[in-house]
Chain A
């Protein structure tokens, strides 16, 4: 491990999918760290590779996927090199996962108590009775009312929000070091979303776990994450603290994302959208993959891959606009407004972090 603070270090990860049409280069040279106790949000549109990246951490890639390059270091060992048997001991114990749709992610024919108890029996070698007793504690922890009366119920007897609480209970029952949440609130009502997010934050503090939060909902990111990585076309294009990404974004794609998010300050009636569609990863573009959709694309964007330029110690962006020779461009009005706010946030010392997160 390069940094003892890191729980997971992903370096130069490249993943291809073998399809009838050819090799889809889904993940193209992705590197990131997950620090102890933090929440890292990975944002990006569908197909940007955020789910594939996290599935590779679990060793749960589809059979037609192939890890071409890179390493995923966890506890000083490379997860990629581990056998399926070894991965089974990591999954659910050290790294756990919450899925998108709580309506379908529970086994409809098994009592929920048993479903929560399963990882305990597998990883901690508990007898069924002890495991069920702990499952009951977990049910209380995730806020299921009358847990004694409900532990023997089946999933169909619960609402979507309650089911997601149960899924969270399953994921956290072994107190994993890393929790991967793959769009855990996408399928839920907005009011329930907030409850689930609060629950996750609360549990994160209690059991001291690091969270990788995958989402395309920037509103959720603002409330949850410590750091944000923005993915586009199989690459991370920008990463930084949540304030840096929200108020001082540098990559045109991040601008587009933030610009298309409605805020209370949004003026006028229509929402802006990013024009065009993501590139075909069967044959990814040579330079900046976002160039074709960007209003700020320069000639070099179509010729050469931009490296990461440092904005601050914690903030990096892969765009040629940050090159010293690049012409000064004017970002969209909304972004200028955000950057102004960021400048204000920087001025008073020390920076008031929590107040600006809202």
Chain B
């Protein structure tokens, strides 16, 4: 287990290094410069600003300087926010993003499991069909469309929830719902397919032959066996949430990382783009690692043993 973990952590850092490298060069290919009022600046003013941020150096040198910085634990300084450290920016904006993401994942996965289980248990009935339609909608409708619809109808028309902003739990409800739709739908579809399979397996037949009630069978046997493969889905779901959050945070003016990220791209704030990308990648890698560890804990068949991996 220890050896396995160390190996995985090594791969995690390797992945992050590759991500950082690729992002760095892709970013340099983007049109535009970080200079905001470019037209008004004289050539010498431009040159001095570029020199101040090291942008006058050749790209490969900038790359080495940046990577060197990372190894020293620094993500650099932001261009747009009066030279604040990127790590500080991310840290101060992490709260709302994590809260939203966590809430959306929780709501989505829990409701998705319920919806999927209902679909599987009541297979080919109206309940199953409603669940299927809901999950198709959840996958087909992009989160930003849902966000705007929720904002308009529940926020503006009915006035049930604040339209935008971030000052209290009620502000989190609409963006959470908008973000939760996709994981909900994915989970429901996954669980339904999986559980239909599980429910027709021999050990469910044996559970019936034991005289267990329908609920007992689903709760003690079907659910656990359907949930195990579900764990592998949580990593990708979290990834989808991160991308979704960028747009949704903007729509609801949530002061999170996503909103920050979109702004940074628009103004070519290189260090912030890099920092946020690396942060997101690290988060995703950690989630995937965590998924594998959890998988081992809940599925006795693949429990990681000490002698191998």
Contacts and interface: CB of A to CB of B under 8 A. Distances in A.
A91 B210 CA distance: 6
Interface stretch (B160-168, B218-226, B238-246): B218-226
B213 interface: yes
B210 A118 contact: yes
B75 to A, nearest CB: 43
B300 A156 contact: yes
A92 interface: yes
B209 interface: yes
B208 A60 contact: yes
- Chain A's interface size range is 20 to 34
B309 interface: no
A107 B211 contact: no
A114 B210 CA distance: 13
Contacts of B216: 122
B211 A105 contact: no
Contacts of B203: 104-108
A170 B205 CA distance: 13
B122 to A, nearest CB: 12
A154 B220 contact: no
A110 B220 contact: yes
Interface string A22-60: 000000000000000000000000000000000000101
Contacts of B205: 60, 99, 105
Interface in A67-99: 87-93, 96-97, 99
B211 A122 contact: yes
Interface in B151-190: none
Nearest to A96: B209
| Interface hub of A90, A101, A119 (most chain B Cβ within 10 A) | A119
Contacts of A171: 209
B213 A88 contact: yes
B300 A88 contact: no
Interface string A196-236: 00000000000000000000000000000000000000000
Interface string B43-59: 00000000000000000
| Interface hub of B205, B228, B299 (most chain A Cβ within 10 A) | B205
Contacts of B206: 97, 99, 105-107, 167, 170
A123 interface: yes
B202 interface: yes
A279 B37 CA distance: 87
Interface of A: 58, 60, 87-93, 96-97, 99, 101, 104-110, 118-119, 122-123, 154, 156, 167, 170-171
